[in-house]
Amino acid sequence: MSVRVLCTGDFQLDKAFGTLGLEAETFREQLMKTFAKVVQTHGPHHDLILIAGDMFDRKATPTSIIEEAATVLASCNTPCLIIPGNHDPVNSGIPSVLQEVLSQRGATHVHVAVERKPIEYKELGLTVFPAPLFRKDDLSDQWGWIPERTKEQGTRIALMHGALDSLPGGLIPEDLAIQKDLDLVVCGDQHGPGNGVSESSNLFNLDISKRRKLYYAMAPEAQHINQNFTGAFLTLELKENGEIKSSERMEVGEIRFVNETISFDHNSEDESHAFDTLLASIDGRPTQLTSIRLTIQGELQSESYQQLNVRLSQLKTEWPLLELINEVTTRNTDDWDQQEVDPLVGKIEQALSHDTNLDPLMKARILELLRINLGRWQ
């Protein structure tokens, strides 16, 4: 018999989204909608739901939000275990409020762990070792208490919230599964891959995770401008002996943050191509849930700069949550023609123009440093 486990966390319900102004409420509502989708739509297809901390965003989370989340959890009959994270630790009072509201709704299948002690799921043949955080800055030993294996425990799973010790400030050992004889470690705290690609991340790559038996659940929604990924949850299938049979990340996120830099030089003739590439990455996304920070830098001729401004005006109309950082300088065409170009600079500039693999920003910096230091070599 295999067991399907849904691993999630870091919803941070009722997050402020302070930089989004009046649009922030739409983003907060989406967090709850995505939470409901994960639990109510996908939860019933699993044998166990593990929520690895930070279900709520802050100590001041309104009771109404906690009640709404409890109603969602109560509506799904799949057993569920929740641990408090650094945003909703035990001493915030949120876990006790959530457990009380769940009790009022008769949701005995949902457990909020406020102690570090084993929780058995005998019908599933497994035992979970939850490590709730007691306060926001909890630096205590989260795994030393885990006992030695006994046959009655079945598959052994640790549920934790925190960063690996290979990261700045991290405390969780990458080889924790080996150290404590665990079949699986599920973690929250790290939201998603920095470049948006799970396969290229040591934290979220599924093959790497399988080898060390330690998985990050991933946040179901991106939550700030530097999180350039689509939110997802993790689904795992475990064999009866605890071996990981399969793993898959299921994208559910609707919120998207895009933080891109577009660079030009005075030879740029088609400023629209870079924008088309950017827009292709968000094609089909809801505009009211897409926040874009666009940094434009470099040098353009006056005519091209005018065309650029027209394009930016169109973008602002199409994508209302567009923040523009404009670092473009302009020159008249005559200025470029009159500028004396050193033969060495001209040859290097020509060579760079044919290198399609080099980032435009890097090309501009190479030429800038070359011109600055040219006098030293003459």
User: What's residue 224's pLDDT?
Assistant: 92
User: What's residue 365's pLDDT?
Assistant: 75
- 40 by DSSP, 3-state: which? helix
User: What's residue 353's pLDDT?
Assistant: 62
User: What's residue 307's pLDDT?
Assistant: 79
Residue whose tokens read 């990455």: 281
DSSP for 329-347, please give it. EEE-HHHHHHS---HHHHH
Q: Are 157 and 183 in contact (CB under 8 A)?
A: yes
- 261 by DSSP, 3-state: which? strand
Cβ atoms within 10 A of the Cβ of 169, count? 8
Q: Are 100 and 69 in contact (CB under 8 A)?
A: no
User: What's residue 306's pLDDT?
Assistant: 77
Q: pLDDT means per 10 residues in the chain (378 residues)?
A: 96 94 93 98 98 96 97 98 97 97 97 98 97 95 96 97 93 96 98 86 95 97 92 97 96 93 69 71 84 85 78 85 81 50 66 67 73 64
**How far is the CA of 219 from the CAs of 16, 31, 213, 257, in angstroms?**
16, 10, 19, 14
- Alpha carbon dihedral 102, 103, 104, 109, in 10-degree steps, equals 60
Domains contained in the chain, CATH given: 3-251 (3.60.21.10), 256-377 (no CATH)
